[in-house]
Amino acid sequence: MRSVALFTIFSAALLIHSIDGTVFFKEQFLDGDAWKSRWVNSEHKSDYGQFKLTSGNFYGDVEKDKGLQTSQDARFYALSARFEPFSNEGKSLVIQFTVKHEQKIDCGGGYVKVFPSDLNQADMHGDSQYYIMFGPDICGYSTKKVHVIFNYKGKNHLIKKEIKCKDDELTHLYTLILNPDQTYEVKIDNEKVESGSFEDDWDFLPPKKIKDPNAKKPEDWDDRAKIDDAEDTKPEDWDKPENIPDPDAKKPDDWDEDMDGEWEPPMIPNPDYKGEWKPKQIDNPNYKGAWVHPEIDNPEYSPDSNIYKFDSIGVIGLDLWQVKSGTIFDNFLISDDVKEAEDFGNETWGVTKGPEKKMKEEQDEKKRKEEEEKNKEQDTESDDDEDEEEEEEGGQEEEEEEDSEEPPKEDDEDDDAHDEL
């Protein structure tokens, strides 16, 4: 009886939970220019890059895949949207969106920032305090990671794990889940790529244990594993000079002792020289092993079960730098329901990813064929032999690579580093 009753309560709770899922923010850009009334450009700087609404050069659905695309190279972008403020206390928090770097991104952010509701959107900039920063960041070959940064008591804390982001040109779905038990999960394309606990994967709190400041290694602690063998003595014939006069050297015929002084042969290294004598090493009978500093509870440490909690979450923003523009952001969702978010991901990204990939592949194939045709024409026009033809192809490839590897400017790197602190 009892278990049946429990089961009923349990399933009822589940049901309520799934009905109760709250969507705090959703943006799919399905209503033309109306997004401009919901998103605010910062005026903190006068030269922020402009976002435009487009589904890009290839897509799964020309309408549904419309999102905000960065449209100017080597610019900072600062755009944000407001929603009804809420607290994630006692509930899961899901932050989700899609990113498409269709430009073959060389260096630039693809992340979102979630801000407290008191953010002044018109003045949003790189140093504006945020709660959460989440999403991919790419720069050159070395930086290709997913940021997960939380603000805790006024300080930004970066995740200690390295999470690799996608670096191809297709649309990818990024999801961050925070739970009230202070665990988290990062998903890419609706698949878990990382998970863990706040305590393990960030340094929010000082360490639980520290080295006991009152403990000292005892004076007589012997941590020498090997010692000199007292029985060992230096052989009598050990000591030999390091250098000796060259026995093969001869006084030059024209040596004039009155003028040049007494002739001395040049010195050469002594083949019999054995160096400094050292006694044999033996095991130390008094060896006690390495001394381990005892640890004590850190008086500075006190657990905090509310690190995950953010009061009055109210703004989502795209505050980033891009060298080569063209990234499209779409399908933003902030919710407290993990399953609903997964559903939403399936219904948006999940539906259009296949056709998008197909269109991209068809375009690539067409381009490849056109190149081939072009090369063939060039071949018949000239009498070049094969060697030269190969050279030419190689040259073209190099050019393309150079195009995409434009290095970032120095002050931009500074800003990026700034961002993370």
Annotated binding residues for Ca(2+), written as ranges, equal 28, 64, 66, 330
Does 21 participate in binding ligand NAG (rule CB under 6 A)? no
Residue placing its CB nearer to ligand NAG in the complex, 179 or 348: 348
- Which residue, 233 or 346, has its beta carbon nearer to ligand NAG? 346
Residue closer to ligand NAG by CB (options 116, 350) is 350
Query: What is residue 336's DSSP assignment?
Result: S
Residue that the structure tokens 């952001």 belong to: 329
Burial annotation 366-389 (CB, 10 A radius, 16+ → b, else e): eeeeeeeeeeeeeeeeeeeeeeee
CB of 387 to ligand NAG, least distance (A): 51
Q: Which residues are annotated as a binding site for an alpha-D-glucoside?
A: 111, 113, 130, 137, 319
Point out which span in 13-21, 109-117, 220-228, 341-349 binds ligand NAG (CB under 6 A).
341-349
Binding mask 177-216 for ligand NAG (x = CB under 6 A): -------------x--------------------------
DSSP code string of 341-380? HHHHHHHTHHHHHHHHHHHHHHHHHHHHHHHHHHHHHHHH
Quick one: tokens of 205? Answer: 């709190």
Task: Output the residue with the shortest Cβ distance to ligand NAG.
Answer: 346
**Pairwise CA distance, residues 175 & 96, whole Å:** 4
**Total chain residues near ligand NAG (CB under 6 A):** 6
Based on CB atoms, which residue is closest to ligand NAG, 173 or 323?
173
Residue with tokens 């592949």: 361
342 binds ligand NAG (CB under 6 A): yes
> Binding to ligand NAG (CB under 6 A): which residues in 258-317?
none
Stretch that binds ligand NAG, among 131-139, 171-179, 200-208, 338-346 (CB under 6 A): 338-346
DSSP string, 40-89: EE--SSS-PPPEEEE--SS-S-TTTT-EEEE-SSSEEEEEEEEEEEE--T
Figure out which of the listed residues 156, 350, 359, 379 binds ligand NAG, where binding follows CB under 6 A. Answer: 350
CB–CB of 83/334 below 8 Å?
yes
Q: Single out the segment in contact with ligand NAG by CB under 6 A; choices: 52-60, 159-167, 279-287, 339-347.
A: 339-347
Q: Which backbone phi and psi does 358 adopt, to 5 degrees? A: -65, -45
Shortest Cβ distance from residue 53 to ligand NAG (Å)? 27
245 within 8 A of 267, measured Cβ to Cβ: yes
3: its two tokens: 């278990």
d(CA 176, CA 174): 7
Residue 339 found at the interface with ligand NAG (CB under 6 A): yes
Tell me the C-alpha distance between 82 and 150, whole Å. 19
Going by DSSP bridges, is the β-strand pair 209-211/313-322 parallel, antiparallel, or unpaired?
unpaired
Q: How far is CA 251 from CA 254, 256, 316, 392, in A?
A: 8, 10, 90, 67
Task: Supply the minimum distance, in Å, between the C-beta of residue 355 and ligand NAG.
Answer: 15
Q: In terms of CB distance, is 210 or 351 closer to ligand NAG?
A: 351
Binding of residue 346 to ligand NAG (CB under 6 A): yes
Distance of CA 12 to the CA centre of its chain: 42
Counting contacts by CB under 6 A, is residue 355 touching ligand NAG? no
| Residue with smaller CB distance to ligand NAG, 191 or 385 | 191
Whole-number minimum distance, CB 337 to ligand NAG, in Å?
10
Q: Which residues bind ligand NAG (CB under 6 A)?
A: 190, 339, 342-343, 346, 350
